[in-house]
């Protein structure tokens, strides 16, 4: 049984099924173009997707820090989208219970994680940044919850 789990074709099959279910949930079948990338990551390994790193040699410290930073940005973005996010109270509309500038954390798991409506936004920013929106308005996806 352990040999089957370590098999690259078994891993590819599991990841592909999960990815296809995610695409079906989104109802945006353009994301199926990601299947060749998953195939290359698990089966062929022809493309070096981490092009900033050497595959078979030791990397210098800057490259290792860059790799850690990219991983951290992706991990925090996924956590903010699907698990929980912090907010800052911007206006005095809730003054009886919360003050302007208070911080609170909201769990997104309780009411179901939502797929982003605009896929391109500035990372780690709330809705507004420097007195303008931190996201693109002209890209709109359907509202989907898990």
Return the domain boundaries, the chain.
Answer: 1-47, 50-82, 85-109, 114-146
User: In the structure encoding, which two tokens stand for residue 55, read together?
Assistant: 């595959």
Which are the contacts of 104, defined by CB distance < 8 A and separation ≥ 6? 86, 87, 89, 98
Total residue length of the chain? 146
Confidence of residue 38 (pLDDT cuts 50, 70, 90): very high
Closest alpha carbon to 84 in 59, 109, 67: 109
Residue 17's pLDDT is: 96
Confidence of residue 115 (pLDDT cuts 50, 70, 90): confident
Q: Is the pTM of the predicted complex or chain greater than 0.75?
A: no
| Mean pLDDT value across residues 123-136 | 75
> Is 129 a residue whose pLDDT tops 80?
no
> Is 23 a residue whose pLDDT tops 80?
yes
Determine contact, residues 107/83, Cβ cutoff 8 Å: yes
Determine contact, residues 73/123, Cβ cutoff 8 Å: yes
């Amino acid at each position: 049984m352990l040999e089957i789990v370590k098999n690259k074709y078994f891993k590819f099959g599991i990841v592909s099924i999960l990815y296809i279910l995610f695409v079906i949930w989104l109802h945006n079948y353009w994301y199926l173009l990601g299947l060749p990338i998953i195939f290359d990551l698990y089966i062929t390994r022809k493309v070096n997707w981490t092009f900033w790193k050497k595959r078979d040699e030791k990397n210098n410290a800057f490259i290792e820090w860059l790799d850690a930073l990219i991983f951290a940005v992706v991990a925090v973005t996924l956590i903010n989208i699907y698990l929980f996010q912090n907010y800052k109270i911007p206006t005095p509309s809730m003054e009886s219970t919360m003050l302007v500038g208070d911080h609170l954390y909201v769990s997104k798991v309780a009411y179901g994680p939502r797929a982003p409506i605009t896929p391109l936004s500035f990372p780690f920013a709330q809705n507004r940044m420097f007195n303008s929106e931190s996201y693109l308005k002209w890209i709109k996806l359907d509202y989907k919850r898990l």
